[in-house]
Structure 1
Amino acid sequence: MPSEPALLLRHHRPFIAFWLARIFTASGFQMLTVAIGWNLYQLTGNVLDLGLVGLVEFVPRVLFMLHTGHVADRYERRKVAAICQTVQAMIALSLAIGGLTGNVTREMIFILAFLLGAARSFEMPTTQAMLPSIVPTALFPRAVASSQSAQQLATIVAPALGGLLYAFGSVWVYGPTVVLYLIACVLTLNLPARQTPLNKAKATMDSLLAGIRFIRSRPDILGAISLDLFAVLLGGATALLPVFAKDILLTGAWGLGLLRSAPAVGALLMSLWLARFSVDRKVGRVMFTAVGVFGVATIAFGLSTSFWFSLAVLVVLGAADMISMVIRASFVQLETPDEMRGRVSAVNGLFIGASNQLGEFESGITAHWFGTVPAVVMGGIGTLLVTGVWIKLFPSLANRDRMHVPADDTAPKPTA
């Protein structure tokens, strides 16, 4: 039986390529989002348009949810991801040309934002389904944590870099973004091909709904992704950070930037820790504990009047969220057959997107009704209540000890 270091050494090159592709495409998206927001606000001066852009990007995830998973399961995943990255590069190139010629319009930005959301809707479940065929099963939780570190690193660095480059003009952001996406495309195409036969079945309503049926048939998977949906939906306070920065913590724009970065810093540090020391036992208990800590940290942030304490609490919040995410993503992928991973990942992605988007909406509504601080505190309490209810509803998930990986399944299956 080969040791974990030997397995990691054997598969480190494909995973490094995957990791770099993730960081390039995530950085490209973060920079593109910053530039689109600034560009649109300069054109219209309407704050509502900034919210509409996020909604336009989210709509394709709902419209194409069933189809994105089916495409990831039926076609070669490397090529699907590469096509999506190429489309995003073309979107950035279109904006760069428009910036040079002065032809960028509000309508153009909304159309390209919709196409950007559509490309990401197909890319996300595809890349998630690729990872189990790149690394050994025994190392998969660490691979998930390492993969997430790329996402968090991009979330911390890329927006600041995009904002800095935009000071020289929008083309200075759109141009490098094109390069980042193209590099990610080349790295993706050089990953190993999938090691199970392609699903050649035609797209029928039965096959499109197979991912939903599979999740409903597995209580642990259903419990995990629905727990994330409701915990983040209730506990998310990101949309209210400008109010805290200006009116409660009494800082300026610099303080808002630090508050937005703090959860990503905590998530990055925790992902690096989990990449080295994975959670191998009592995974259910650890996941529910992490969600509970997320709720407590949300309450503490809502009650805080100290800027530095608020920063520290947000770092803890991000770290707790990363623990939950890594455990959930690991066993959901490992419990799902390869021919179903695309469709299951598509449903999971919709849950994640809905929790983030609807969570911001819920925060705004409750803050309008009850006030900013009560809204955040009630959200944290709601997260704790959901955690307790889910422990009762899904006892097998709460008592889950391992990822249920067979002892002899330490490497991807060879190509037939």
Structure 2
Amino acid sequence: MTDAVPTHPFQVHNFRAYWTARLTMTLAQYAMLLVIGWQAYNLARDSGMNIAEGSGTLALIGLLQFLPLFFLTPFSGLAADRFDRRSLGLLTVILQLGCAVALAWFSWIDGVSLSLLFGISIVLGVARAFAGPALSSLAPNLVPKAILPTAIALSSISWQAGALVGPAIGAVPYAFEPALPYVIATALFAVSALALLQVGKVPQPVMRKDQRPIGAIIDGLRYVVKNKMVLSTITLDLFAVFLAGANAMIPVFARDILQTDEFGLGMLASATPAGALMTAIFFSFRPLKTQVGPKMLGAVAVFGIATIVFGLSTSLPLSLAMLFIIGAADMFSVYVRQSLIQLHTPDDKRGRVSSVSMMTISASNEGGDAFSGSLAFLIGPVAAIIAGGAGALVTVLLWSRIFPVLRTTKSFDPPADLLEGEQSKNPQEA
């Protein structure tokens, strides 16, 4: 053993355990979410609902996951700043494990209903509301600041690898036994919990003792609003992904437009994270260093164009290719956004700022699922996807005008005053 400063995140034991926990948790989450959506859509269609009404069921699933995330993330961000982040993350994993056990049992006895899936969706929304800020704000405390962008890329790899393989873990076993994906998810959540227990104690940020909880939440929101770099990156992702939620319609496209089976469903659900994973792996070896703001705008524009083509496609190979590009472009944007947010935010505010980021991500993902499903109910799934892609392109044009900082930001370097204030707080550099 040596006291030398680590040059790679995987040289740090705490980060390796954290990475394992996040990977296994994400594998379980995406396996469950795909099967929940597939079961809900099939229950709706088999009960006599048409395609539009079935799409509305998916919209409701997305809404029920989004509402807990939206209302609880301000408080979960405060919790991540005031309590042990590892312990908080561990509790959320245990709660999701309980959901997996319940779904495995009811699938085994053929007792799955729409009301059960709606209820589980709410509980999962609550768990994810607290998991996001706790785990996101934990990562910067595990490695030196100099290798934080690499750690963010590796953390994204664990997330995207889980999102890539998770749907296959859900779709393929489901074709043989509906309860099997949930049994596998239960085991993965258990591994995640054990890995989090291996993360040693990390310093907790010092917060003002005289500040009331509501005041602390407002303080975090105020910081986001005042920091145009943080605000612009968060809201760009919010509106672009909210409008262009192609993944929400995958069960509809799989069954009624591309007319494929569970294996095709798994391929479609894995295509987006496959593109994201390749991008994250690239950045883990070749971190982005120049023109980060303009490149982020370009990535979101590519995201919108690929979404439009996906909406027009009636070919499975072309749809897979567009979903792959959507994932790659989205990961490019996520990498830039997360690096800028983590490096431009003081440690004592990271939990609350991460909660704001998480709230916008949930609004864009789960809220976007609800929006896309509702729009599909009104104008059809194809028109809804095309309109969403066009909306993402309009968002890029507007944000490049409203926030000039996106066009002028060249690197991830944080302001000098923030860098000086944080230097003495980093446990790995002390």
**Which TM-score band applies after superposition, normalised by the shorter structure?**
0.7 to 0.9
Secondary structure in structure 1 of the residue aligned to 2:341 = helix
Moved more, 308-317 or 165-174: 165-174
Which residue is 2:122 aligned to? 114
Which residue is 1:227 aligned to? 236
Distance in structure 1 (CA, Å) of the matches to 2:372 and 2:219 = 33
1:333-391 C-alpha deviation (Å, 9 max, x unpaired): 11111111111111111111111233334434555555555443333232222112111
Moved more, 341-350 or 37-46: 37-46
Contact in 1 for aligned 2:63/2:369 (Cα 8 Å):
no
* Amino acid of the structure 2 residue aligned with 1:57: Q
Please state if 1:354 is matched with 2:363: yes
Which residue is 1:263 aligned to? 272
Which residue is 1:60 aligned to? 68
Deviation (angstroms), 1:240: 3.8
* Amino acid of the structure 1 residue aligned with 2:24: F
Contact in 2 for aligned 1:291/1:387 (Cα 8 Å):
yes
Which residue is 1:382 aligned to? 391
CA separation of 1:365/1:167 partners in 2, compared to 1, >3 Å: closer, same or farther? closer
Deviation (angstroms), 1:9: 6.5
Equivalent of residue 204 in structure 1, options 196, 200, 213: 213
Equivalent of residue 89 in structure 1, options 82, 86, 97: 97
Which residue is 1:165 aligned to? 173
Equivalent of residue 195 in structure 2, options 184, 187, 199: 187
* Amino acid of the structure 2 residue aligned with 1:395: P
* Amino acid of the structure 2 residue aligned with 1:227: L
Which residue is 1:414 aligned to? 427
Deviation (angstroms), 1:182: 2.1
CA separation of 1:200/1:96 partners in 2, compared to 1, >3 Å: closer, same or farther? farther
Distance in structure 2 (CA, Å) of the matches to 1:386 and 1:113 = 29
Moved more, 218-227 or 368-377: 368-377
Contact in 1 for aligned 2:292/2:410 (Cα 8 Å):
yes
Contact in 2 for aligned 1:299/1:381 (Cα 8 Å):
yes
Deviation (angstroms), 1:131: 0.7
Q: How many residues align?
A: 414
1:201-225 C-alpha deviation (Å, 9 max, x unpaired): 4653211222211110101111111
Secondary structure in structure 2 of the residue aligned to 1:64 = helix
Deviation (angstroms), 1:399: 0.7
Moved more, 10-19 or 311-320: 10-19
Contact in 2 for aligned 1:239/1:364 (Cα 8 Å):
yes
What are structure 1's unaligned runs of at least 5 residues?
Answer: none
Task: Within 5 Å, give how 1:300-315 maps onto structure 2.
Answer: 300-315=309-324
Secondary structure in structure 2 of the residue aligned to 1:324 = helix
CA separation of 1:141/1:410 partners in 2, compared to 1, >3 Å: closer, same or farther? farther
Distance in structure 2 (CA, Å) of the matches to 1:150 and 1:236 = 22
| RMSD of equivalent CA atoms | 3.3
* Amino acid of the structure 1 residue aligned with 2:139: L
Secondary structure in structure 1 of the residue aligned to 2:8 = helix
Moved more, 352-361 or 45-54: 45-54
Task: Within 5 Å, give how 1:9-408 maps onto structure 2.
Answer: 11-37=11-37, 47=54, 51-96=59-104, 107-167=115-175, 169-199=177-207, 201=209, 203-241=212-250, 244=253, 254-367=263-376, 372-405=381-414
Deviation (angstroms), 1:14: 2.3
Distance in structure 1 (CA, Å) of the matches to 2:379 and 2:39 = 34
CA separation of 1:107/1:251 partners in 2, compared to 1, >3 Å: closer, same or farther? closer
Distance in structure 2 (CA, Å) of the matches to 1:81 and 1:338 = 18
Deviation (angstroms), 1:291: 1.0
1:107-138 C-alpha deviation (Å, 9 max, x unpaired): 55544432222111101111000111112222
Distance in structure 1 (CA, Å) of the matches to 2:147 and 2:132 = 21
**TM-score, normalising length: structure 1:** 0.87
**TM-score, normalising length: structure 2:** 0.84
CA separation of 1:194/1:245 partners in 2, compared to 1, >3 Å: closer, same or farther? same
CA separation of 1:373/1:276 partners in 2, compared to 1, >3 Å: closer, same or farther? same
Moved more, 336-345 or 245-254: 245-254
Distance in structure 2 (CA, Å) of the matches to 1:304 and 1:273 = 28
Deviation (angstroms), 1:82: 0.9
Distance in structure 2 (CA, Å) of the matches to 1:306 and 1:227 = 30
Contact in 1 for aligned 2:224/2:230 (Cα 8 Å):
yes
